[in-house]
Structure 1
Amino acid sequence: MAAVGPRVAFAAFALVALFVAHADTLRCYTCSTVANKNCGDPFNKSYVPMTDCQSVGVTGTQPKEIPVCKKVKQRVNNGDLQTVRSCAWVKPEDPCPPSPSGAYIREEECSTCTADLCNGAGVATPLVLPLLGVAAVAAYSAL
């Protein structure tokens, strides 16, 4: 049997590390400005609950979905702007799929991120971790 080269070993390690990072429990802020004005911007984390996403039963329904923290700003028919922060499962290539909220709500902004409590920022960090993993493998392979 042939020995595994250092590049193959590094690539395997990087992929395993990437999936282990997503297997850990993710904590997100969960709130809506309908019930809690501190949920909006500016965000006041002192008055907003943190949720362990696994404890609320949020799971992926499709293959290749990953857990994320999500922040959505939506406008309702009466003109009010609502902010919703939550746990979600999404495909990395489509981190903000259209919400099935109906014609009376228009989504104005959506962002997702993969770090603990990352949806508390004014603008959430994009899904960077999967891209960094691929970039690391590609960079090492180019050596």
Structure 2
Amino acid sequence: MSLEQPSPPPRRETVTGVPRGGRRRPPAHTPARSEISEQTTLGATYVRALMRSQLRAGLRVLAAVGLPAAVLPALLALPGAASGPLVWLALGPAVYPLLWLTARWYVHRAERNEADFTGLVMDPAEAPGPQRRP
């Protein structure tokens, strides 16, 4: 009579990887950020480029809204120009979509300018991912 001995349990293996809390530490100051904080010529150039891009966007909005707003009353004052309800529609409800579209474009452009500037200044390891707007 032979008694079979139970086989030993299979050997367990532990798989390890890189610790999750041990991410690479970003440098204290990236070169562009330190250039700006130390107010060097290069840092001033970075800030001036941001200010110029914001100024360009603002001047485009001024041209898109200001020129039609300045020209429309002159066109409506011409002899033979439409009068009555058409004038009120041109000066009232028709202006709001133009204002809304230009304001939306300006906010989008300003955020994009700032994101580009932030991407230039920040270290890629600590840059936030793309954010969705609701």
Length-normalised TM-score, structure 1: 0.31
The structure whose residues are more often strand, as a share, is 1
Whichever of the two has the greater Rg, that structure is 2
Richer in helix (by share): 2
Q: Using structure 2 for the length normalisation, give the TM-score.
A: 0.32
Structure scoring higher RCO (CA < 8 A, sep ≥ 6) equals 2
